[in-house]
Structures are given as structure tokens and as C-alpha cells.
Amino acid sequence: MESLRQYQNYNSQFPAGKEVIDASLWDTLPYATGVTVALQFFTALRPTIDLSNMRAAGQLPAPESFLVRAIRVFFKNQPESTATAAAGAVQPDSINDIFLIITTGTLVLNIGQKDYGIYPLHMLPAGGGVSGSMCVNNVLIAGAAASYGQNGRPHIRNRFVLAIPVLIKSQINFNVTVTWPAFVGPIRTFNMCVALDGDLIRAIQ
């Protein structure tokens, strides 16, 4: 074993020494018009960093672990022009899409086959992003309106903070599942992002 102790002088990682940094884990999936009743996040790698920063599917690579302190849900939709609804009718736009999704959806964090909390989506604001708005175009484009919807006021303090943080240990399977009792009828497909904010614990390198 003496040779192994000697090799430790050249080790690039030190399991006995850890550092803690403020961090977020995020993952993005499309909410598809007409079919989506469940989405499971953090279970696969995505092609670009704006969609996810996971480096392994469904778990954290050794020797990393993550203390979840807050959960956020962000919608990556764009302002779009839609026909103006008649007086008294529901306006078929982004704001209505977000309303339908967050008022019936629920989110569960699962770690190692155990569920930690079940939260209505309306309790999990985005904490950042563009605020919702709506405007009617000028008379040259009759009957059209543009709108944008987001989940909550865009401020980083506007997020759901766990009263008791939850630790995701290294190489333990975890996921976040969002479900709806039935398809709720948004008029377009758009991306939905779940972010976990907290402390990343990693080896000193």
C-alpha cells in the first residue's frame, strides 16, 4: 500500500477535501401541444448548455453532490401574434397557456426511488426572465394581439425555497417529474425548464 500513498501526491482530486459553491442544475423539455400529460427532467443529456447543464444522465458524477435549496420553473416561449378573441371569450395566447399549465400541474422531486415533496406549479415561480405582457396591434393589422407569459414576477428572490434542504448524493439516481391530470390545451409547443438552486459540493482540484 506504500505505493498508493505515494501516488496520492500526484492526484488531481482530493476526496477528503471538499469545496462548496453556489450553483444551479437545470433541464429543459418541450411541452407538446395536444399530447403532454407528464414530463420527467434530468434523465438524459441535452445537446446544448442552454437546455441543460447535467454532465451525466439522471445522476451527479463522482465525487459531486448537490444540496437543493430552491426549485424554479421557467417557460421558454416567445411573444407571438394571435387573433383577438371576442369580448368575454378566453384569449388564446401565451398568458393563457401558462395559466392552464401552472394551475393544474404538480411537481415531484425523486431521489433514489423516494419522493421529496409534491408541489403545485403555481408555487414554483421562475425567479427570473421576461414578465408577461399583452398588447393590441395598430388598426392596420385588424384583430391581432401579441402576448408573452411567464411563471411569476421576474426577480431572483421570487422563488420557492425549501424549508428543509434535500441532498442529492453522488451517483444516486434522481429526477423531477411534472404531471397534469389531463392535457390542458395550450395552443402551441414550447420549452419548459426546471431549475434546482443550491450548493454544489465537489472535490478540490
Residue 176: inside a domain: yes
Please give the tally of structural domains in the chain: 1
Give the predicted TM-score (pTM) of the model.
Answer: 0.80
Residue 44: inside a domain: yes
Residue 55: inside a domain: yes
Within 13 Å of residue 53, how many CA atoms lie on the same side as its CB?
10
Residue 67: inside a domain: yes
Residue 116: inside a domain: yes
Residue 2: inside a domain: no
Give me the domain span that covers residue 66: 17-204
How high is the pLDDT of residue 2? 45
Residue 52: inside a domain: yes
Picking from 161, 195, 156, the residue whose alpha carbon sits closest to that of residue 178 is: 195
18-59 confidence digits (pLDDT tens): 888 999 999 999 988 778 899 999 999 999 999 999 999 999
Pairing of strands 160-168, 174-179: unpaired
Sequence-separated (6 or more) residues with CB below 8 Å from residue 3? none
| Nine cell digits for residue 134 | 399583452
Percent of the chain residues past pLDDT 90, beyond the cut = 43
Residue 54: inside a domain: yes
